[in-house]
Structure 1
Amino acid sequence: MAPLVPKKKRKVNLPENEEVAARIFGKHRSMAAQQPGGFPEHQARALSAAYTGVCAAKEPVRTPGDLARVTGVGGWVVDVMEDSFPGSSLDLSPPRSNTPGETGKKNTRNKPYVPRMKSAAYAIMIALCREMEKGKEFMMRQELIDAAEASGLSQYAIGPNNSRNSRNDGYSFTGWNSMKMLTNKDLVEKESNPANLLHEPDLAHYFGPTVISFISTLNTSRSSPCSSSAEMSLLAMPSHQSNESFLKAYEAVLILDDQDTFGPRSRRKVVDNIRSQFNIPVEVKHLPVGDALWIARHKELDTDYVLDFIVERKNVEDLLGSIKDNRYKDQKLRLKKCGLRKLIYLVEGDVNTVDGSESVKTACFTTEVLEGFDVQRTTGYADTEKKYGHLTGSIIDCYSRNFSAGADTSRLCLTYDEFVKRCSDLEKVTMSDIFAVQLMQVPQVTEEAALAVTSLYPTLLSLAKAYTMLDGDRCAQEEMLQNKSDMVNAGASKNIFKLIWAEG
């Protein structure tokens, strides 16, 4: 039976959020009225949790981006409520800091259980959430085990009789044992054999809104780099006049790096194949960063503007090698700083054919979920050519549909010369760059977290001084970075403090 719709409104903490809360309350009631007796329980719970979160929010909720940062709000709710924010766009600027100076004893009574990265519980929860976002209401035991195993997100075998368990010399633990903890924490409801996800909206509280946003857009992002109008409104636009169409003013050109190789295929052959199959202009240039990008060339002025998309292409063997020698993190950090917003990581080949397949799978997942890249996969050179063609078509379509609407955007595309200069400046290594690379070696510190820390404290010395200002309050020191930026989770905040303030 569907859960009851709230009968009365809650008190809203901030007056600015009363309208948003009322919209969510109204959406809950209208959806329930449209589906008498059939309103899915997980959707009702999601809207209820979102309503509660907005009412309790201590920050104004003015855009879909603000809504996504509210505790308890998942990607599905953001999509459903997107039309309630007319004329707004998701805000991807650095998150606002929490209230500074909050110190004192850590409150552990309400601290949620957080499945550890690479644990079986983590893989099970992500597998369940993926299927739920596709509309599935439950999974059978073996089906869930297979899905969690296939994700490559657990360093342990999920089910029994697995080759990874056979090396344990009689040790009987399997990843499925963690299901007991998940059911005890009310994250999963187990009814006989099916396992039914109970608290989907709370997943944002456990894994963060980035993971939920990723899962909710998992299917659409595979086929198109522009998955929603709200996302498209974030993109930089080339200079243009109002009511001017994109294709009338510009020609979109795919640019391939002159250092990129396609096995036995000559670069000229690759260019000709893409041109002939997709009827798009393709050029080869030396790119300062990335392996492919797109420019908009003005048909009258001949000015080249760099569109907001860039591709870093890796075959699975090269990706594994770059993980081992740390080129992988450095390259992603350069992409993050290049000034383009839509970062595409193209993985070429079958990850199961290399010895370190688990490392590659985990790297792909963290690159997409935790670091905000759009990870695309191809089977080989020919498939990569097709992928470039399809991406070009999607990007042209995105800009064609949103060109006039973006006339008032505050972000303008860089010209190609400006882009090259910006990237050349990245070659100049600063103390802050070195510090960021050092931070990325710390467990749980992603590229996003490292950049967030160095934006606040550019050097190790400045961070150490900030710790000394807390007068030896160990708890406050461990939580300082977590409270300063939403990009830094609790584990990363604590681990960075240990790095700087190592004892013994």
Structure 2
Amino acid sequence: MPAIEQVRLGRKRTLPPCPNPLFLRWLTELRDQAVERGQKTQYVYQKAINSLKKYPLPLRNAREAKILQNFGDGICKILDEKLQRHYRENGPDAPIHSLPSGVTVAPSCHSNNNLAQPTKEPSRKEREGGRRKREYVPQKRSGGYAVLLTLYRESQVPGGKGFMFKLELQAEAQHLCDKSFSVPDLGSKYTAWSSVSTLIQKDLVVKTHNPARYSLTELGLALAERLEDGEREREEDRRSEVGEEEEGSGRGVVDLTAVEEEKEKRTEPTARPTPAAYVAQRGSEVPGVSASGKPQAVETKTRPAGGCLYPGSYDIVLCVDFIETTGGSTACKQELVKELQRNGVTFDVRKLNVGDFLWVAKERVAPVSGQLRAPQGRELVLDYIIERKRMDDLCGSIIDGRFREQKVFRLKRCGLQKPIYLVEECGSAAAHLSLPETTLQQAIVNTQVVDGFFVKRVQDVKESVAYLTVMTRYLTKLYQNRTLVCRSRELEGDRRDEEEWGGRERENPSCSLISFPEFNQGAVKNKCQTVREVFARQLMQISGLSGDKAVAILENYSTLHSLLKAYEQCPSDTEREKLLSSIRYGKLKRNLGPALSRTVYQLYCTKGALS
């Protein structure tokens, strides 16, 4: 009896091979190059590959492929150029519907990269033992090399943060890299920073938080340690070679060229070959570490290491929000710039996420030989920030709610301790505003008395520029002999810690300031908010509930869930209505009162529309 044949499962009809393998190969190469560079064109090439695989007829040129879906003029032009190059290299009669011998296209798989690059026929050793996956090691003095070494050296600093921000990382890693981290080379749009995406894909660097923090993974730490060991060995070999040359040349001979090179090296940012040298260089900045790298006794309250700006190494620069110079009344805004230039004020127009004017201490950086632009110096934000309001703008911001939001949620929480409101009178135009003048005057008084802002009232743009000029000269004189210490706002804590430090800074002529990138990124208007922040914004929309009252409620019930849970535990509606009435707020410690407590209860516990 004949044996029963085994039933074959799966697809019975085999798919025919693609009749245009050469075009398929080129599209696959383009797709893979876009994937390596992180370009979004990889998805366009992938769609074209899928369309080409479904087309059953051979194509004589790329122009015929325009009838296919996802084939535009750009892709067809690229394929035509590759086809002409193919004819020039292999002759006008070279076949285009078959691949050269020894080159194949790997079968597709169900992923974003479902077509692999053309591969050659594997060797006998590879067929027997399989191909080993090559470890990724960045090239010496490349962007990835510099980033790994910088993060590793930062991790070895005692008391360090364990992470670095983007601009901080770029500034520290620049001297270890031949390419610029901010300016691309001629004819290219990529910088040394582009290699960070590769480090993240290879699981060597991890990116967290907003603003972004970069730190090493376990794999990255091991690789960076090996790179550091190689750097240390090369440094020792270089020193030994220099010592041998000095012994051979004799002590009486002086090389003037070497002396000049040594002077140039002193003016440029010096490389830090080892973590020990890195700690020694930053010894004065790191709590508990002396200049020799040895631990020393420190106070109980230490500031996080972030770098120092010493007297004479920085300039005080006024930063102007670009909104103050563009759009709207162009004549008035151009007048502001001209007046600043006429008064000789050093200013910089940039995007400020909060406030209209502020001052930074900008580090003086010498240009580096071989680079088009000088490296970007560190910038520390002084504790003064100005919000400029015309009377008509003040009226509009009160009506749409921006006035309270700017004061309570943005200016008060931006991390700077001396916010200033610069109010410009409109003269006769104030009589034609939507709100009565008494309401506007009361809002200005409340800003100064209740919210604690300093209010400066001026008549026009010229007086505003005069005030900015006087403030710039005052701050330049105030900070001219001060050592500025860079601190991290997130690691310092709340404003209570800042007030304690402020009292000590009056005794010691040094200041602890936030870096401008951290300040500006932390003040983004539409950044992700915590549940506590959203709850506070909801409370602030209730009429009569000021910022101090909202803070007092949040101290007892940090989230809406905790407040609703407290309402559920009350035995009666009367007690629920009076739940918040005894909460004290402000400096005078007054009670919220039963009326406001009842309003909050009705808002969150009334089903249906409020009466």
Q: State the TM-score bracket (shorter-chain normalisation).
A: 0.3 to 0.5
Structure possessing the higher relative contact order (Cα contacts under 8 Å, 6 or more residues apart):
1
**Higher radius of gyration, 1 or 2:** 2
Q: Given the two structures, how large is their TM-score scaled by the length of structure 1?
A: 0.45
Q: Given the two structures, how large is their TM-score scaled by the length of structure 2?
A: 0.38
